[in-house]
Amino acid sequence: MLYSYAKQRKAIKPAVTVVRKVLDESGYTKDGLNEKKKNLQILLHVFSNGGANTTTNLVHVIRQELGHPLPLIGLIIDSALAKGGYAQNYPGFVQSLPSNLFFKFLAPPLINLALFILEASIAMGRFERPEDLWRSTMLNEELLKVGDPVEEGSRRICYFASKADENTRWEDTLSHAELAKQRGWNVKVFLWNDTTHCNHLSKHQDEYSGAVQAMWTKSKL
């Protein structure tokens, strides 16, 4: 998030190439699937705000190159879409660093400097807050086409969150789920009390795996 969008979107090109190959093999065009070829099966599973950032860059590049949104059968948000700001971003950066003396003493001032530059750039209007862009992208149907509008189970989105997550506030994840409901999406939320960041599968395997399987098969959540 500290690099320009241009640099990030250049770096995401290898992933775009893989996704485009899947679309080509499925015979997908902006008008839909070629019925003579196999069905398109892409389930997007977004982990943390880092995954939201990667997804944002991916779908913007695909839209730019192909002229149509990325088609999906479902969208899963796991421990992601925090609203951001210094109070959230600083702990996230610190917790992601190796726990040795070098990083313990030298990293905090560098992180503070980087976040100051980021916040100053946002305040001056150079670009919008990254977290705002990520949150809006997930529901932007010019970038993501989730399901076929004429089929049952379209616009399906599933959220995983925990009150014990110290990186992403569960309130932020649920506020995005509420926004999705208001916009007519088919929303399912799993909120737990005892799992850490992106670690829900460890204690809630049946619920988690069942939800992912349901998203794949378009069955009831």
Q: Supply the DSSP string of 116-185, one letter for each residue.
A: HHHHHHHHTTSS--HHHHHHHHTT-TTTEEES-TTSTT-SEEEEEEETT-SSS-HHHHHHHHHHHHHTT-
Confidence of residue 88 (pLDDT cuts 50, 70, 90): low
Classify residue 102: in a domain, yes or no.
no
Task: Please tell me the predicted confidence (pLDDT) of residue 220.
Answer: 83
If you average pLDDT over residues 24-51, what whole number do you get? 78
Classify residue 103: in a domain, yes or no.
no
Mean pLDDT (the chain, rounded): 85
CB atoms within 10 A of CB 41: 12
Classify residue 100: in a domain, yes or no.
no
Residue 183 class from Cβ within 10 Å (0-12 exposed, 13-18 middle, 19+ buried)?
exposed
Classify residue 33: in a domain, yes or no.
no
Classify residue 205: in a domain, yes or no.
yes
Return the CATH number at 72: 3.40.50.1820
Entry pTM: 0.83
Classify residue 45: in a domain, yes or no.
yes
Of 159, 49, 57, nearest to 93 (Cα)? 49
Q: For strand 156-162 and strand 186-192, is the pairing parallel, antiparallel, or unpaired?
A: parallel
If you average pLDDT over residues 121-126, what whole number do you get? 65
Number of domains in the chain: 1
Classify residue 98: in a domain, yes or no.
no
Percent of the chain with pLDDT over 90: 56
Confidence of residue 196 (pLDDT cuts 50, 70, 90): very high
Confidence of residue 115 (pLDDT cuts 50, 70, 90): low
Task: Please tell me the predicted confidence (pLDDT) of residue 153.
Answer: 61
Classify residue 154: in a domain, yes or no.
yes
Domain that holds residue 66: 5-27+39-84+129-217
Confidence of residue 85 (pLDDT cuts 50, 70, 90): low
Task: Please tell me the predicted confidence (pLDDT) of residue 218.
Answer: 85
